Chain A
Amino acid sequence: MRPPFASPLLRDAVLVAGIAGVLAFPFVGLLLTTQGTAPTLSTRFPEFAGAVVLIFFGRLGISAARRGHSLFPIVLGIAMATVGAFSLLFETTGMAADSAAPWHAFVPGTFLATVASAGGVAIAVVAGRNHLLRDSVPVAQKPLPMKQLLLWTGIALAGVAIVLPLLPAVDRRLIDVATLVLTYVMLGWGLNIVVGLAGLLDLGYVAFYAVGAYSYALLSVTFGWSFWVCLPLAGALAALFGILLGFPVLRLRGDYLAIVTLGFGEMIRIILLNWYDFTNGPDGISNIGRPSFFGFQFAAKPAEGTESFHTLFGIAYDPVHRLIFLYYLILALALLTNAFTLRIRRLPVGRAWEALREDEIACRSLGVNPRNTKLSAFAIGAMFAGFAGSFFATRQGFVSPESFTFIESAILVAIVVLGGMGSQIGVAVAAIILVGLPEYFRELQEYRMLAFGMGMVLIMLWRPGGLLTHREPTIRTRPQPASA
């Protein structure tokens, strides 16, 4: 039976939009800018109105879909998605840039347009699904072949990542954002070894990232060694720090371990900040060696007697070559981390990590040395952070303690936890959402962290156990099954 579509829906939507309007007016509607010394108050009424209207229709669609309507929310969702997509298209293709009018598109602002289109699609999909499921007799659900599904998702993601810089629509900015996201994917995968597999909540992971970055920076600046020489050294140094820090703290468990690792993370940063003679303190280290393409520099004018990348291949110099090279470099490093993790899960030490997370007492009683096992997880996780740190240093050409604050550790832990502890693809998707979204919404300036928060809230609402909670067994039925 179809509940009568009537005023309760409208009343509810008006109420929610009203609340949103009251909340949004000071945040969105008013803009305080400083010109010279005098602060001036300007208004952003189109954005404000757009947000309120969007919330009104969104709420209307959500509650209609919840109450079992199908036609209305589907139409509404599609309409929202279309309007949002058109605005987005106008915005990104720059067609609207010529017109000075604030109403340059139907929905002002990339952020609102994206929310409108994504929300519209979501409403339409939910309502459509409800409609399809309403009359169907529940059948025995066949379990999804998760293994295949994950495998193909992984291959698809990797494929997109590999061809991304070659796509015509991709510009410098997107490659930059993708490189940043991949750095976090790699760090997330590294931390996943410690938190996801071994179950050691490490809130100071950024310390190893910093050790890697500074190792590379100092080795490169002091000795002039190349990136490829310094990379393994930085990884080894970070792993050594992992062992040094891990040794005293790994007797602790759970909350206590988390607090102590947090403290160690801060200690490293403060040492970097204050040991001026060695680290150059808050001024940081600059002029760090850039990576070369197997010895060929990415330079417009190669040094005397050397060839650079573009002369080697006989192509015109383009600064984007270096960005693309950096992109592929971090992609390769990240995929290496992933391959390593997938492999080690099948080896006794990796299996012991997972078992240790599940039940430490059982592990002891099976002959696992918990201290050594935890230390190995800590050291290997730290090593990958060290690799990522080297990459960070060479990409920026500059490191300072400012880049290694607690918020980085917090974001990484959020990526691992929200991705679904231990799930490689989940971590990658969470990194894209948590790091990619705020970068994509740069136009929101300081409010872009709202996008970060929104991503987090959405994941918590929909997937409270993490994006992907499926755990793929590391061993399957043997060729000669025992008599069962």
Chain B
Amino acid sequence: MTPLLKVSGVRTFYGAIEALRGVDIEVAEGEIVTLIGSNGAGKSTLLMTICGNPQARAGEIRFADRDITRFRTWDIVRLGIAQTPEGRRIFPRMTVLENLQMGAVANPDADFDDGVRRAFELFPVLGQRRNQSGGTLSGGEQQMLAIARALISRPKLLLLDEPSLGLAPRLARQIFAVLREINRASGTTIFLVEQNAYHALRLCHRGYVLANGVVTLEGTGSELLQNPAVQAAYLGGTGQ
């Protein structure tokens, strides 16, 4: 079976700076795949390149057997790739419900009421705050809203950029638990970029390690957790 998302030989530049130097990644349907790496490794750049902004200068990105390398962001999203961009980016002056409504843009056919019901099941606190404006939510609630908003369109693939950033450990664990639940209950494929390597690797089926714009390691989550190099560099081992 062909993978749902296949990134092959992707090179992305910011001006003359090469941020991704030939990245190959595959995500199969129903998987949770995580990408870890240090600051500036190119993790967010890879996610953004998948979404077409910036576009890859070389290589190919295929989604559901379709070449999307040259698509514009909004068209890619409409194919069924939802993403929560880095920094949550909820609409602060709009209410929780209005934020969720914006999630329906990518797929007008999805049942909105049902989507809202599912969102409030996953994140009961959002249900309590449904008429509150997004800017009044706490950081964790905003992250939940960003995830819930991305799920409204019932995407095939959910891209997440650092969902645990800036959250208290308990909230981060809660977010990861919900991600597992989303994957288990509706079979949504998840591709997750994280700095919190420990949680991410425990959550995922498979993982990739990105360093200086290339994939240096790949394997199942537990393999990577056991890997001494990963432990040293990303899990707070004794740095080499």
Chain A contact residues, CB within 8 Å of chain B:
348, 351-352, 354-355, 358-359, 361-370, 471, 473-478, 481-484
Contact = CB atoms under 8 A, between A and B. Distances in A.
Interface stretch (B35-43, B114-122, B187-195): B114-122
B93 A358 contact: yes
A358 B105 CA distance: 16
A311 B84 CA distance: 68
Contact of A475 (B93, B98, B103, B107): B98
Nearest to A484: B127
B131 A366 contact: no
Given A483-B127, A484-B124, A484-B128, A365 B117 contact: no
A336 B105 CA distance: 27
B114 to A, nearest CB: 10
Contact of A367 (B89, B90, B106): B106
Given A352-B105, A473-B95, A362 B121 contact: no
Contacts of A482: 116-117, 120-121, 127
Contact of A362 (B85, B104, B107): B85
Given A362-B85, A365-B84, A366-B77, 20 more contacts: A348-B105, A352-B102, A355-B102, A362-B89, A362-B102, A365-B77, A366-B106, A367-B74, A367-B107, A368-B74, A370-B74, A471-B133, A473-B98, A474-B98, A475-B101, A477-B130, A481-B130, A483-B121, A483-B124, A484-B130
Nearest to A469: B93
Contacts of A354: 91, 93-94
A363 B102 contact: yes
B131 A477 contact: yes
20 contacts: A351-B102, A358-B91, A362-B102, A365-B77, A365-B83, A365-B84, A365-B89, A366-B77, A366-B149, A367-B153, A368-B74, A368-B105, A369-B72, A471-B93, A473-B98, A475-B98, A478-B116, A481-B130, A482-B121, A484-B130
Interface string B18-60: 0000000000000000000000000000000001010000000
Contacts of B72: 369
Interface string B75-91: 00110001111000111
B115 to A, nearest CB: 10
A478 to B, nearest CB: 7
B95 to A, nearest CB: 5
A355 B93 CA distance: 9
Given A362-B85, A484-B120, A367 B105 contact: yes
A366 B130 contact: no
A364 B74 contact: yes
Nearest to B86: A361
A362 B91 contact: yes
B92 interface: yes
Nearest to B125: A484
Contacts, number: 100
A365 B50 CA distance: 11
Contact of B91 (A355, A364, A370, A484): A355
A366 B145 CA distance: 13
A364 B121 contact: no
A322 to B, nearest CB: 44
Contact of A473 (B51, B82, B97, B153): B97
A82 B72 CA distance: 67
B102 A366 contact: yes
A361 B87 CA distance: 11
A169 B1 CA distance: 83
Which of B77, B94, B106, B108 gathers the greatest number of chain A CB atoms within 10 Å?
A: B94
A363 B77 CA distance: 10
A362 B124 contact: no
Contacts of B78: 367
B73 interface: yes
B109 interface: no
Interface in B137-152: 149-150
Contacts of A367: 74, 77-78, 105-107, 153
A355 B120 contact: no
Nearest to B78: A367
Given A358-B91, A474-B98, A365 B73 contact: yes
A475 B104 CA distance: 14
Leading 3 A-B pairs by shortest Cβ distance: A367-B106, A484-B127, A362-B89
Nearest to B76: A367
Contacts of B106: 366-367
A482 to B, nearest CB: 4
A412 to B, nearest CB: 23
A483 B93 contact: no
Nearest to B100: A475
A363 B92 CA distance: 13
B101 A351 contact: yes
Nearest to B48: A365
Nearest to A475: B97
Contacts of A474: 98
Nearest to B92: A358
Nearest to B134: A358
Contacts of A370: 74
Nearest to B84: A365
Nearest to B83: A365
Contacts of A366: 77, 82, 102-103, 105-106, 149-150, 153
Contacts of A483: 120-121, 124, 127
A92 B107 CA distance: 62
A482 B124 CA distance: 9
B133 to A, nearest CB: 8
Contacts of A484: 120, 124, 127-128, 130
A180 to B, nearest CB: 32
Contacts of B97: 473, 475-477
Contacts of B95: 473, 475
Contact of A481 (B92, B127, B153): B127
Nearest to B106: A367
A477 B127 CA distance: 10
Contacts of B51: 365
A26 B3 CA distance: 82
A143 B55 CA distance: 48
